[in-house]
Chains A and B, each alone.
Chain A
Amino acid sequence: ELKVEQNPLFLSMQEGKNYTIYCNYSTTSDRLYWYRQDPGKSLESLFVLLSNGAVKQEGRLMASLDTKARLSTLHITAAVHDLSATYFCAVDSDSNYQLIWGAGTKLIIKP
Chain B
Amino acid sequence: DTGVSQNPRHKITKRGQNVTFRCDPISEHNRLYWYRQTLGQGPEFLTYFQNEAQLEKSRLLSDRFSAERPKGSFSTLEIQRTEQGDSAMYLCASSYQGYAEAFFGQGTRLTVV
A residues with a Cβ closer than 8 A to B are 4, 31, 33, 35, 41-45, 48, 50, 88, 90, 92, 95-104
Taking a contact as CB atoms under 8 Å apart, the answer to whether A45 and B42 are in contact is no
Taking a contact as CB atoms under 8 Å apart, the answer to whether B45 and A45 are in contact is no
How many residues on chain B are close to A (CB under 8 Å)? 25
Instruction: Identify which of B45, B102, B103 contacts A100 (C-beta below 8 A).
Output: B45
Taking a contact as CB atoms under 8 Å apart, the answer to whether B45 and A98 are in contact is yes
Taking a contact as CB atoms under 8 Å apart, the answer to whether A96 and B106 are in contact is no
A4, B107: Cα distance in complex, Å: 23
Closest approach, in angstroms, between the C-beta of B51 and any C-beta of chain A?
13
Instruction: Identify which of A50, A97, A101 contacts B43 (C-beta below 8 A).
Output: A101
Q: A33-B101, A42-B91, A45-B103 given as contacts; is B45 within 8 A of A99 (CB)?
A: yes
